[in-house]
Amino acid sequence: MRVILYLAISADGLIAKKDGDSDWVSEVDAEEFERKIKVAGCVTVGRKTYKQYLNDIFPVKEVYNFILTKSSENQRKESNVLFVKSPQEIIKLAEEKGCKYVLVIGGGETNASFLKENLIDEIFLSVHPLILGSGIHLFQDIETFTKLELLAYKKLKEGLVQLHYKVIK
């Protein structure tokens, strides 16, 4: 089961402002990422991102929503929303549910948890033409060194650039 990371970032490598605001993310990117979620059949987010966009983006309808959390206090009644305790367990569940791949969409802590365990196969970044200065990093608090191979890049509307990397393992 492949694990693909998909994130909107600023030109200085941040995914949110200090106060957690991601409202600068363009609609152009939203369309791209909705397409990827549909193909994957699932979406994986950290508990903080899920809470921030609950009843807005989440739960995403008609796909499995895997929420990474150490807590078991979040249970909801929708059968497509699953609270999961580890990245490995998410991969196992995605396999069982027949998903095409695991699509991880943040935030920074969740991305780091998958990277630290060497579980990420590919990374898509939508680089936005702006600098946030300070805030939440693409990978929060990591000390690992990871090499990437550039597979493709394309120019999107509104000055966005999409980079597609393979993680060298």
Ligand X SMILES: NC(=O)c1ccc[n+]([C@@H]2O[C@H](COP(=O)([O-])OP(=O)(O)OC[C@H]3O[C@@H](n4cnc5c(N)ncnc54)[C@H](OP(=O)(O)O)[C@@H]3O)[C@@H](O)[C@H]2O)c1
Asked if 93 interacts with ligand X (CB under 6 A), we say no
Tell me which residue has its CB nearest to ligand X: 107
Assess 162 for contact with ligand X (CB under 6 A).
no
- The answer to the question of residue 69 lying near ligand X (CB under 6 A) is yes
Residue 158 DSSP class: G
Q: Are 110 and 46 in contact (CB under 8 A)?
A: yes
Kindly tell me which of 75 and 86 has the beta carbon lying closer to ligand X: 86
Question: Should residue 22 be labelled a site residue for ligand X when binding is judged by CB under 6 A?
Answer: yes
Q: Minimal distance in Å, beta carbon 163 to ligand X?
A: 13
Shortest Å, Cβ 23 to ligand X: 9
105 binds ligand X (CB under 6 A): yes
Give every CB contact of residue 121 below 8 A, 6+ residues apart in sequence: 2, 3, 4, 166, 167
**For residue 96, which of 64, 59, 58 has the smallest C-alpha distance?**
64
Sites of contact with ligand X (CB under 6 A): 7-8, 15-16, 20, 22, 25, 45-49, 52, 68-71, 85-86, 105-110, 113, 136, 140
